[in-house]
Amino acid sequence: MSSLKILVIPGSLRTGSLNARLAATAACEFAQAGADVTCISLGDFPLPIYDGDLQTKSGVPKNAVNLKRMIGVHHGVLIVTPEYNSSVPPLVKNTIDWLTRVQDAQEPRGQVFRERAFAIAAASESRLGGTRSLAALRLILTACHATVIPNQLALSFAGQAYDDMDRLKHPADVESLSALVQQLIDVSQHMM
């Protein structure tokens, strides 16, 4: 079990991000379940807005290649995304767009999406908890031929979802996160 590697990617760079907080909570859950978990910041992989002319001129940015390789050494990936105007924020979409352009030696483009399991979660101050962003992200990842597990978590009223010990306080949220974590572990192990 210790060899199962899970990557957690928060889709926000904002100081005090609700999604980074949920990502950290999820990372703890994965660790408690016995996975070898890494939580990154997309701030460590800054990318320009995708532009075909830029790709033609300069190739795919090194940060996209590095992030693709980082994903490639993990068996499962959790993306925790904000919701912007009923969809995924540009940071998340732009990152995925660049990842789909990475061409590593002796590997078909997009292989990194096909070879591992993905889970998705969102946190928002709204009642819907970013549900529409999850629908959009599921569509995008599925179009990349990723296996996206059915369990997901949309954390409603996310600013008030934690107790004084920084734990999720609503049983339904705890259960949803736990089910997501266990399913990503199970499906990732199956795909190893």
Ligand X SMILES: Cc1cc2nc3c(=O)[nH]c(=O)nc-3n(C[C@H](O)[C@H](O)[C@H](O)COP(=O)(O)O)c2cc1C
Q: Which stretch binds ligand X (CB under 6 A): 17-25, 44-52, 143-151, 184-192?
A: 17-25
Residue ranges in 127-166 that form contacts with ligand X under rule CB under 6 A: 130
Residue 83 in the binding site for ligand X (CB under 6 A): yes
x/- mask, ligand X, residues 21-60, rule CB under 6 A, reads ----------------------------------------
Q: What is the sign of the dihedral through the CA atoms of 164, 165, 166 and 169?
A: negative
176 near ligand X, rule: CB under 6 A = no
State the nearest-atom distance from the C-beta of 25 to ligand X, in Å: 13
Residue 17 CB, shortest distance to ligand X, in Å, is 3
* Nearer to ligand X (CB atom), residue 95 or residue 124: 124
CB of 90 to ligand X, least distance (A): 9
Residue 39: beta bridge partners? 8
82 lies in the binding site for ligand X (CB under 6 A): yes
18 versus 77: smaller Cβ distance to ligand X: 18
14 binds ligand X (CB under 6 A): yes
Cα distances from 61 to residues 45, 57, 140, 150, in angstroms, run 10, 11, 21, 32
Of 48-56, 76-84, 91-99, 177-185, the segment contacting ligand X by CB under 6 A is 76-84
Nearest to 113 by CA among 74, 151, 80: 74
Q: Which one among 18, 64, 155, 187 touches ligand X, defined by CB under 6 A?
A: 18
Interaction of residue 90 with ligand X, rule CB under 6 A: no
124 lies in the binding site for ligand X (CB under 6 A): yes
Rounded distance between C-alpha atoms, residue 28 and residue 121, angstroms: 15
Question: Given the rule CB under 6 A, which residues bind ligand X?
Answer: 12, 14, 17-19, 82-86, 124-126, 130
